[in-house]
């Protein structure tokens, strides 16, 4: 399978909503990703094969030196092929190119090996307040 990766690649709301529902195992929701990305993102990375969107990651930022990885998604049919790792590599490269000093990520425990071993993130102390 040939997969192409693109920083700030064109993405339709329907396809990202479908990938999000699949990736996070929830019902399909009609979110306006076009608006969300334009207002909050430093950028995002799309991964496509001949059948369409197979991967996505969003990079939000504080407008200065901190960028944050959100919504790392790979379609079930395309997992375990290095797509997630490449999505994060492209996101890291462009975050650095934008002048960011730090790229943050948080994740569920089962993804530790992916983010720490495959993608090069390192553990840090962080805090979290659950608001709802």
Model confidence pLDDT, tens digit, residues 56-71: 999 999 999 999 999 9
pLDDT value, residue 1: 73
pLDDT in tens, 74-123: 999 999 999 999 999 999 999 999 999 999 999 999 999 999 999 999 99
Write down the pTM of the prediction: 0.94
| Nearest-angstrom CA–CA distance, 94 and 29 | 29
Region of residue 124 (left: phi > 0; alpha: psi -120 to 50; beta: else): beta
User: Taking the CB of residue 121, how many other CB atoms lie within 10 A of it?
Assistant: 18
Provide the percentage of residues in the chain whose pLDDT is more than 70.
Answer: 100
Residues 6 or more apart in contact with residue 20 via CB below 8 angstroms: 26, 29, 31, 71, 73
19-41 average pLDDT score: 96
Compute the distance between CA of residue 18 and CA of residue 14 in angstroms, rounded to an integer: 6
Give the model's confidence band at 38: pLDDT under 50 very low, under 70 low, under 90 confident, else very high. Answer: very high
Tell me how far apart the terminal alpha carbons of the chain are, to the nearest angstrom: 41
91 vs 88: CA distance, rounded Å: 5
Cβ neighbours of residue 65 closer than 8 Å, sequence gap 6 or more: 99, 100, 101, 102
């Amino acid at each position: 399978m040939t997969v192409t990766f693109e920083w700030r690649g064109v993405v339709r709301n329907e396809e990202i909503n479908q990938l999000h529902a699949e990736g996070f195992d929830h019902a399909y929701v009609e979110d306006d990703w076009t608006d969300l990305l334009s207002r909050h993102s430093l950028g995002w990375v799309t991964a496509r094969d001949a059948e369409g969107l197979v991967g996505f990651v969003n990079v939000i930022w504080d407008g200065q030196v901190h960028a944050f990885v959100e919504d790392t998604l790979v379609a079930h049919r395309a997992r375990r092929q290095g797509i997630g790792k490449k999505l994060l590599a492209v996101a890291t490269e462009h975050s650095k190119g934008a002048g960011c000093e730090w790229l943050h990520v948080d994740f569920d425990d089962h993804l530790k090996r992916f983010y720490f071993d495959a993608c090069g993130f390192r553990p840090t102390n962080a805090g979290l307040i659950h608001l709802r």
